[in-house]
Structure 1
């Protein structure tokens, strides 16, 4: 139970980092976070440990846990590497994916379609995450899968935020369809092109992401530099199940 709670808390804090509620450099005090989320310090400590493992927070000398500094330039670099890891996964999967794995990918693609039709960004986010994890697994390269998952976790809040851009869910689903078709055809080069285009954040998509970050920070008001008490957020932390990997 504590593990599931810590995962939900990680997700809630992760969301606040992505939207600017918790700015880079903000100190994360366990006692104050526990009071705000109405939980004990133990799951907060576990959640912060998970976030540290994802690179979203870091430990500063004499300050404890602070939100990591991730610049727009750094985000671009991370998405560039993510695109290449996923492209390699797709190239290998085009040769190695089993019938059962392809069926699972198609099932997850259908989950994404249903969520997109309902305009449910949370449901789409989780189905999309499972879709990408299934793609990594289909490459049958454990080292590659581990590296892709590790970077995916660092980019998680920003990939979630992308889905709030107008028409992004619909476009993402269409891109998934092209990926699935390329894998079905066993066309590694097509799979690489589709995945790379799907993941890369550049041009208008990068501008949209940065605009979303700025807008959501403004909507949330000017956050305090200290992650101090605010309105009770227990419901926010509890509303989502932990994602399937």
Structure 2
């Protein structure tokens, strides 16, 4: 049976106390969405954000605009800003694009791998593995980003790398289910390790399949949750 892991509230509060800028607010709200502190369709109240981050209204509004531009928040006229809730079709389309982009990134990776790049990936994976063991979801989240950005940065194409990062960031509103589940975290750690082995073995075909499979768990969990919610709403009296 999988175990649900909760993030430490004190870590979130500590981070919030030092926040003043737009980018910092965006990062904090993004983290809250991924770690399940904020849920799809949950309203983001400007007054609450102003109080939380001790900042001006225009700063909060700019942060919400930025969150909307990266696909994590949707703003509805006369209703306000809400955490983005993806439809099944949107999820399928988003992950189809992620697969195309990331497999293109794999094709562009240098094999045999430069030792400095491989050593950096291995070091990040070791820290990621320790964070999984410690159930430190905040570090897991940030180190997972670091692992994938470092992986595809070696493609040599900064435009491709940035687009991969943009679509991965857009999917943070979908990944919250997987990151809160310990079995999913252990599976992701195993897959990262397997990717490193494929790189060491200069096996691009295996790396390609591993990267494709790595996208599926969070996507499938979200779709199951969406289908369950849809079924419940359709049968409600």
Which of the five TM-score ranges fits, normalised by the shorter chain? 0.7 to 0.9
Q: Does the aligned pair in 2 maintain the 1:94–1:188 contact within 8 Å? A: no
1:75 matched residue in structure 2: 91
Give the CA deviation at 1:92: 1.7
Q: Please tell me the root mean square deviation across aligned C-alpha atoms, in Å.
A: 3.4
The reply to whether residue 198 of structure 1 matches residue 214 of structure 2 is yes
Distance 1:46 1:119 in 2: 33
Q: Where does structure 1 lack aligned partners over 5 or more consecutive residues?
A: 216-245
Superposed displacement of residue 133, structure 1: 0.4
Q: Tell me, in whole angstroms, the C-alpha distance in 2 between the residues paired with 1:201 and 1:77.
A: 16
Equivalent position of 1:183 in the other structure: 199
**Are the structure 2 counterparts of residues 8 and 35 from structure 1 closer, same or farther at C-alpha, using a change threshold of 3 Å?**
same
Contact between 1:94 and 1:183, CA under 8 Å: does it hold in 2? Answer: no
Question: Displacement, 1:33?
Answer: 3.1
How many angstroms apart in 2 are the aligned matches of 1:105 and 1:34? 38
3-state SS of paired residue (1:167): helix
1:206 positional shift = 1.6
Q: Is the 8 A contact 1:179 1:191 kept in 2?
A: yes
Query: SS of the residue aligned with 2:55?
Result: coil
Contact 2:178 2:184 in 1 (8 A): yes
What is the number of equivalent residue pairs in this alignment?
212
Q: TM-score, normalised by structure 2?
A: 0.73
Query: Residue 21 and residue 178 in structure 1: after superposition, are their counterparts in 2 closer, same or farther (change >3 A)?
Result: closer
For 1:88-145, what per-residue CA distance to the aligned partner results, in whole angstroms no more than 9, with x for missing partners? 2122214374221111111111111111111212111111110000111011112211
Q: Distance in 2 between matches of 1:96 and 1:89?
A: 15
Structural mapping, 1:23-42, within 5 Å: 23-24=40-41, 28=44, 30-35=46-51, 37-42=53-58
Distance 2:43 2:135 in 1: 35
Counterpart of 2:169 in structure 1 is 153
TM-score normalised to the size of structure 1? 0.71
Q: Deviations over 1:143-174 (max 9, x none)?
A: 21121011111112333441112311111111
- Residue 64 of structure 2: aligned partner: 48
Contact 1:121 / 1:169 at 8 angstroms: preserved in 2? no
> CA 1:4–1:38 in structure 2 vs 1: closer, same or farther (change >3 Å)?
closer
Give me the whole-angstrom Cα distance separating, in 2, the residues matched to 1:56 and 1:198: 21
Which has the higher mean CA deviation after the structures are superposed, 27-36 or 70-79?
27-36
Question: Which of the numbers 162, 175, 179 marks the counterpart of 1:163?
Answer: 179
| 1:132 equivalent in structure 2 | 148
Alpha-carbon separation, structure 2, partners of 1:30 and 1:200: 34
Contact 1:109 1:176 in 2 (8 A): yes
Partners in 1 of 2:20 and 2:143 — Cα distance?
19
Ranges in structure 2 where 5+ consecutive residues have no aligned partner: 1-17, 230-237
